[in-house]
């Protein structure tokens, strides 16, 4: 079993971004600025936003956090987003998901200026991604591709199973991996909650990318020997031995599959840190486009 160390790769990427920022500063070019919009008081969302802001500090970016009450109306939130769109000092921003009930997520995401949409969720950028046109790729799929390519895992003609069809992970990664690109050319199958033969699909796959959010769902008897597994899932399970009383696990039962897998991403320390690194890479790209 070979561990795909997402934490290590993400640090390499953050170091590369930091070097680019240093060069920009020495050339009197603008320092990249990432902003985050956080609505409500969802605990995990606050944690994710804090990690993004901390990562900005690490690479020398400027960052801003726009926090709004859960009770903000959709119209007022759109006004705030339009203000950020007009703010020339901000190169890219994200709207932390999920948004509270009563706010239409698609409507909000479509109001983000596509040139600042470093999450790649605006319909224009998402459409470009699907068409294979250069754009901001959504951060988690981009992180998966970066991990696969830096680990030199060849996808060409491989049977790749994506489990989950969400708009932020499953759907975009399934599109990207089937494209005729250097990181693509896999034969991709997408499984989801209505799939009835998941075990059969898993056992016949060379690469499994799982984004379902069911803790330790994939077991050793569901996979073939030598498979590559990219575990996107993040779930909390009770753990009395931990001072917090819980631990973070992925969709894969790591211990149970370990004797059979070829490559695997751990949770934590796999896809998660890559997501933040790719978000910052998109922000650097956005900033460079305005030079």
Known catalytic membership, residue 119: yes
By beta carbon distance, the residue nearest ligand NAD is 213
Determine, following the binding rule CB under 6 A, whether residue 290 of this chain makes contact with ligand NAD. Answer: no
Determine, following the binding rule CB under 6 A, whether residue 120 of this chain makes contact with ligand NAD. Answer: no
Determine, following the binding rule CB under 6 A, whether residue 138 of this chain makes contact with ligand NAD. Answer: no
Smallest gap from residue 253 Cβ to ligand NAD (A): 14
Encoded tokens for 249: 């696990």
**Using CB atoms within 10 A of its CB, is residue 5 exposed (0-12), middle (13-18) or buried (19+)?**
middle
Known catalytic membership, residue 96: yes
CA distance 172 to 220: 27
Q: From residue 198, how far is each of 62, 176, 189, 233 by CA, in Å? A: 45, 21, 11, 17
Determine, following the binding rule CB under 6 A, whether residue 220 of this chain makes contact with ligand NAD. Answer: no
CA distance 202 to 208: 7
Determine, following the binding rule CB under 6 A, whether residue 248 of this chain makes contact with ligand NAD. Answer: no
Q: Which of 91, 117, 119, 251 is the catalytic position?
A: 119
Q: What number of other Cβ atoms are within 10 A of residue 259's Cβ?
A: 9
Determine, following the binding rule CB under 6 A, whether residue 19 of this chain makes contact with ligand NAD. Answer: no
Nearer to ligand NAD, 34 or 212 (CB): 212
Determine, following the binding rule CB under 6 A, whether residue 266 of this chain makes contact with ligand NAD. Answer: no
Known catalytic membership, residue 52: yes
- When binding is defined by CB under 6 A, the residue of 147, 234, 257, 277 that contacts ligand NAD is 234
Determine, following the binding rule CB under 6 A, whether residue 212 of this chain makes contact with ligand NAD. Answer: yes
Residues in contact with ligand NAD, shown as a per-residue x/- string from 140 to 179 under the rule CB under 6 A? x----------------------xxxx-xxx---------
Encoded tokens for 231: 């575990």
**Using CB atoms within 10 A of its CB, is residue 160 exposed (0-12), middle (13-18) or buried (19+)?**
buried
- When binding is defined by CB under 6 A, the residue of 233, 257, 286, 287 that contacts ligand NAD is 233
Catalytic residues: 52, 96, 119
Residues forming contacts to ligand NAD in the complex (CB under 6 A) are 140, 163-166, 168-170, 191-193, 195, 198, 211-214, 232-235, 271-272, 275
């Amino acid at each position: 079993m070979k561990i795909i160390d997402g934490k290590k790769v993400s640090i390499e990427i953050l170091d590369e971004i930091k070097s680019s920022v240093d060069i920009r500063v020495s050339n009197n070019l603008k320092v990249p600025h990432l902003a985050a919009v956080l609505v409500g008081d969802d605990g995990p969302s606050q944690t994710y936003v804090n990690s993004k802001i901390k990562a900005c500090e690490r690479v020398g970016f400027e960052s801003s956090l726009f926090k709004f009450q859960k009770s903000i109306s959709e119209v007022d939130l759109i006004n705030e987003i339009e203000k950020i769109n007009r703010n020339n000092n901000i190169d890219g921003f994200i709207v932390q998901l999920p948004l509270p009930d009563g706010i239409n997520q698609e409507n909000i995401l479509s109001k983000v200026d596509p040139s600042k949409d470093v999450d790649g969720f605006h319909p224009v950028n998402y459409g470009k991604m699907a068409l294979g046109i250069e754009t901001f790729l959504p951060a988690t799929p981009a992180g998966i591709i970066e991990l696969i390519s830096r680990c030199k895992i060849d996808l060409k003609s491989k049977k790749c199973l994506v489990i989950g069809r969400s708009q932020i992970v499953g759907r975009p990664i399934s599109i990207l991996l089937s494209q005729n690109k250097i990181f693509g050319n896999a034969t991709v199958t997408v499984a989801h909650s209505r799939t009835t033969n998941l075990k059969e699909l898993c056992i016949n796959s060379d690469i499994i990318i799982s984004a379902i959010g069911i803790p330790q769902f994939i077991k050793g008897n569901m996979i073939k020997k030598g498979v590559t597994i990219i575990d996107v899932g993040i779930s909390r399970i009770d753990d009395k031995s931990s001072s917090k009383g819980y631990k973070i696990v992925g969709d894969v039962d790591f211990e149970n599959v370990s004797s059979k897998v070829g490559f695997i991403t751990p949770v934590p320390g796999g896809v998660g840190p890559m997501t933040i690194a790719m978000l910052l890479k998109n922000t650097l790209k956005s900033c460079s486009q305005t030079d």
